[in-house]
Amino acid sequence: MENQQHGISPHTAQLPLHCLKQMIQLVRDLQNLSENPAYPPLLAKLPRNAQIEPGYFSVLMGYDFHIDETQQVKLIEVNTNAGGLWYPARSYAPDAQFFPSKLGDKLLSTFLQEYRLFRQDKQAQPQLIAIIDHQPEEQFLYPEMQIYAKLFQQVGINTVIVDPAQLEIKDNRLCYQGQTIDLIYNRHCDFYLNTPEMQHIAIAWQQQMVCLTPNPRVYGLLADKQRMADWSYAEFFDDFLAPATIARLQQAIPHTQLLHALPKETLWAERKHKVFKPTTGYASQGVYVGDKLTKKKFISLEPHATLVQHRIKPSITHAPDGEKFKTDFRLFVYRKTILAVSARLYQGQVTNLRTANGGFSKIKLT
């Protein structure tokens, strides 16, 4: 079906305005947290690449939410390379070939802001941007990468979409076919730059040869799934957040722990109220809703690499024909600026873009 290929739902999700306000406040609370001078000591337990302070931030942060039965917003996870913005944009204009002009302008300004902070030059503009991912032509969201390339090319910025293996370091420059890369838009899911194919990117990042956005530091501070476990305890914030902010975060973050910290027999009995997530997973890979988890799979979960999160059931969108879709909401963000708000409709255990008549949808504020 058309929507299965393109990730767009024909339906409309309803989002209460007071819930959107809660989401925006939480985004700003977490961004303030990430920029708080008292927060970086956390970095001591993170990989070396996350301890580098580049002086800039991260394009296209994504904050994913459920709305519970009491109409309270719950943060499900934070993403540093949030894909999919092209799809909610097209839900309003299916035949569009570019981002809507207002959104496109906002997106472009975020990339330019990152580069200008990197260069410490308010007028700087990259000459070559590389959009990188593992075998990008094989990725489900490759068409979206092409739209970003068009966005950059419209203002005269040469852009390539490449596998990181196609890049090389030459004369203290990160290059593609001999051309110096000024900015990398990182769509790759090796967030800490650990895999062999990302090692020259890691070197370029460590030596600050190139503006890399999103980057390992922001991932470590906000989007590493283990942060959800840290944020689940109010005392974690005691030294550097106001009580009102702590209360908001505690209200919005489902209690999360590492599997090894929980007694397995008790946890098995309570599994129906839990969601099990790999600490390094993405795109819902390896996520299990407790009531669908087999004992064999439960026993096989890696205790130090599995998060156990209190299950927040998604809200439901009712299609005109009576069909029901589970619904979550994503805010696309640059620092504290909300770039777009979207919904994803799906059926099954976890969010996906392949449910018939599911995918990113329009939103109606109520």
Query: Does residue 310 fall inside a structural domain?
Result: no
Q: How many Å apart are CA 144 and CA 148, to the nearest integer?
A: 6
Strand 324-334 relative to strand 61-67: parallel, antiparallel, unpaired?
antiparallel
Give the pTM.
Answer: 0.93
> What total of structural domains would you count in the chain?
1
Is the residue at 134 inside a domain? yes
Residue 159 lies in a domain: yes
pLDDT tens digits for 135-190?
999 998 999 999 999 999 999 999 999 999 999 999 999 999 999 999 999 999 99
Distance CA 176, CA 355 (A): 38
In a domain, 121, yes or no: yes
Residue in the structure block whose two tokens are 């708000």: 341
Look at residue 320 and tell me if it is in a domain: yes
Identify the CA nearest to 335 among candidates 18, 88, 117, 47: 117
Q: How many Cα neighbours within 13 Å face the side chain of 93? A: 10
Measured CA to CA, the distance from residue 151 to residue 102 in angstroms comes to 12
Provide the pLDDT for residue 1. Answer: 37
pLDDT tens string for the chain (366 positions)?
344 455 899 999 999 999 999 999 999 999 999 999 888 767 778 899 999 999 999 999 999 999 998 999 999 999 998 888 999 999 888 888 999 999 999 999 999 999 999 999 999 999 999 999 999 999 989 999 999 999 999 999 999 999 999 999 999 999 999 999 999 999 999 999 999 999 999 999 999 999 999 999 999 999 999 999 999 988 888 888 999 999 999 999 999 999 988 887 889 988 888 989 888 766 667 788 888 888 888 888 998 889 999 999 899 999 999 899 999 999 999 999 999 999 999 987 777 777 888 999 999 999
Q: Does residue 346 belong to any structural domain of this protein?
A: yes
Domain span holding position 323: 2-226+315-365
Q: Is residue 176 in a domain?
A: yes
What's the DSSP call for residue 217?
H
Alpha-carbon distance of 138 to 2, in angstroms, equals 19
271 inside domain: no
